[in-house]
Chain A
Amino acid sequence: MANGTIAIAEKSFYEVSTNEHSGILSWLLTTDHKRIGIMYLVTIAFFFLVGATIGLLMRLELLTPGRTIMGAQTYNTLFTLHGVIMIFLFIIPGLPAIFGNFFLPIQIGARDVAFPRLNLLSYYIYVTGAILVLVSLFLPGGPIDTGWTFYIPYSVRTGTNVSLALFAAFILGLSSILTGINFVTTVHRLRAPGMSWFKMPLFVWATYATAWIQIIATPVVGITILLVVIERTFGVGIFDPALGGDPILYQHMFWIYSHPAVYIMILPAMGVVSEIITTFCRRTIFGYVPIAMSSLAIAFVGYLVWAHHMFVSGMSDTAAWIFSLLTFIVALPSGVKIFNWVATMYKGSIDPQVPFLWVMNFIFLFSIGGLSGLVLGSLATDVHLTDTYFVVAHFHYVMFGGTGTIFFGAMHYWFPKMFGKMYNKKFATISVITFFIGFNMLYFPKFIMGYMGMPRRYYDYLPKFAHLQEISTIGSWILVGTIFFITGYLLYALKKGPKASSNPWGGVTLEWHIPSPPPMENFKEIPTITHEPYDFSQLKEMEYDK
């Protein structure tokens, strides 16, 4: 890396426009990857808060048995919307679009992504998709009520605005594909001199593997949901059993994408975890190559396990046990990562600051999510637990406890770099703890209820579940309260926070070598990379807050 030279103060990317406009247009028409990353941040955070509020409403409905605040049909549309927003608008694009855009070019020593204008276009395609989702709420016919998986035949028969919502999902997929293409090309073409493949930071590796999944898997779901739209409009019969079509084929085609999609959600988060752990242990990562390769392995094996979502849909027994076995195999590369993280912490001089605490949250919650995934991946137990609350608990532990916590972790890790301001660390520490309490209160009872037979997607339940449902709902208040609290103090820090230094944590990857916030083109001079990515001997020559 630039041998410890710290670039002298230059104008930051907030002060310099990439186009001839100033003011709001200098943002809306920007081609700067950092500004685009921040635009994604604002948009995605907004949808996350909307999705969380809907979750809160659902939990309110479930506070007491019977009708509490809404009827069954409203509940159906709410869980569909909650799922669609959280999956397609928040968790899939979240980390790559925000932090990938902002930090991937910096971490490989580039001035921008390979196709800056395409990058802006992807953003607007994302916004278009999001707007269409919102529009579908208000058109006659009513909001979509199929669940976010759009299973046939219901999605063809219902009169709600399924077609528009599906088309929106298609458009969001296109945005995801274009971002993927951009990142793959960027990593291949724009690495700084000396940045060999195995000198890339692990966040870059993770984003790179993710980009490949975006490219390979998304078109398949694209055509699948397009077929549902065509089916609804013209009735060609491809999935309609009355005309000879096969509804199970829909499920196969849907999960061929949507299972790998869970790795689009989790891989970038794992990349961030590697960054944070090394920085706060002041120690190079244990097993760099296995971690990098396990990302690729997850990306690859992830394609072979989709049918574990369909054990009870009608499959041959042979197919079922093969998919069950493959599902277990995909847990191995994840295990490699966890092992290497723990080994890195061992004998490291751990500095337990806020981002690191989020990582602890992650490891705990994600492990529960992963282990419960093995329960669902085993044929016999899955038949009992499928479509119960156990599944709901499992995927919230994986997606929210995994990627969601790292969304907050990454936010707290890179906030000073992105905005040049520091937040209130005491508030931040408190919120890690209340998040943990709220999260487990909200979702752990669902494991138990699921085991006891509470089906998912029901707005009513038997009295025997009442206590657990109450605990869960109270947990949702703590959790959503925490989320709004975090939003509050981060916004406050943006306005009034103290100025952050260029390297508040003592990190050594390239972004910590440049000022906070970064200057317009990141580097005055493209650096020549001479160090391993996590070589902390550089820290002696670097400035950082001890």
Chain B
Amino acid sequence: MTNSQQAAANLHHVHRDDVGARMGMWLFLFTEVLLFGGLFLAYSVYRYDYHEQFRLAAMDLNTGIGTLNTIILLTSSLTVALSIAAMQKNNKFLSMVMLFFTLALALFFMINKYFEWSGHIAEGLYPKSPELLNMKNGEIIFYGLYYVMTGLHGLHVLIGMVVLSFMLFFIAKGKITPENYVKLENAGLYWHLVDLIWIFLFPLFYLIH
């Protein structure tokens, strides 16, 4: 074996497969959908059991904040898509700006969420609170599901923010380039999923009365 062959054998061969990477991401998103699917299943079972009480409990939620957050997330989905498009067109700066907007919108979403939750908690509506325990079973479950489902979604927003920050860093470092941007694309896909799940949560909790 010549020296260069030896060196080649020592180094693991470089393997890049964008289609494969995208496929892996889609499969992962599929598992996320199923994770939330379990919760949607529980929701539908209890909605069926406690139809009337769910209706009453839902009236107390602040549709205004919900709508605002829906708009915020939809917009952020747009900005993340624009960031990818900008990268494809070799406009690194614009891509970073758009990512930055996405992050800012995500933060805005979380702040809204914070005020919404602390509002409910101030009213005494939180798991095991005397206020809540006085209510009917269906309402207790409604609030239980509300906290669990929006909480888990909020956690996903946070994770998304961490991921997008890394992307911003990678672009700055030149690790994401117009020739190799599948990481950014996958992060974008993840963000769309977070958005999509919210689109389902929003009517279930805020709109159906």
Give chain A's interface residues, CB within 8 Å of chain B: 10-11, 16-18, 31-32, 111-112, 114-116, 118, 177, 180-182, 184-185, 188-190, 215-216, 218-220, 222-224, 227, 230, 234-238, 243-246, 249, 253, 520-521
Contacts and interface: CB of A to CB of B under 8 A. Distances in A.
Contact of A253 (B38, B127, B141, B147): B38
A220 B50 CA distance: 23
Contacts of A18: 12
Contacts, number: 118
Contacts of B71: none
B24 A223 contact: no
A215 B27 contact: yes
Contacts of A234: 127-128, 147
Q: Which 4 A-B pairs have the closest CB atoms?
A: A244-B137, A236-B144, A223-B38, A219-B34
A185 B23 contact: yes
B10 A16 contact: yes
Contact of A520 (B9, B30, B128): B9
A190 B128 CA distance: 53
Interface stretch (B39-47, B60-68, B85-93, B157-165): B39-47
Nearest to B137: A244
Contacts of A112: 12, 15
Contacts of B42: 227, 238, 249, 253
A207 to B, nearest CB: 15
- Name the residue in B32, B46, B136 with the highest tally of chain A Cβ atoms < 10 Å from its Cβ: B46
Given A224-B38, A237-B127, A238-B141, A189 B9 contact: no
Nearest to B146: A236
A32 B13 CA distance: 11
Contacts of A220: 34-35, 37-38
B19 interface: yes
B137 A219 contact: no
B149 to A, nearest CB: 10
B12 A188 contact: no
B35 A222 contact: yes
Q: Which of B34, B39, B137, B147 has the most CB of A within 10 A?
A: B34
B9 A16 contact: yes
Interface string B1-29: 00000000110110101011101100110
Nearest to A233: B127
Contacts of A520: 9, 12
A246 B49 CA distance: 10
B31 A215 contact: yes
Nearest to A115: B24
Contacts of A238: 42, 141, 144-145, 148
Contacts of A10: 9
B119 to A, nearest CB: 18
A185 B145 CA distance: 35
A243 B39 CA distance: 18
A376 to B, nearest CB: 26
Interface string B131-161: 0010011101101110110000000000000
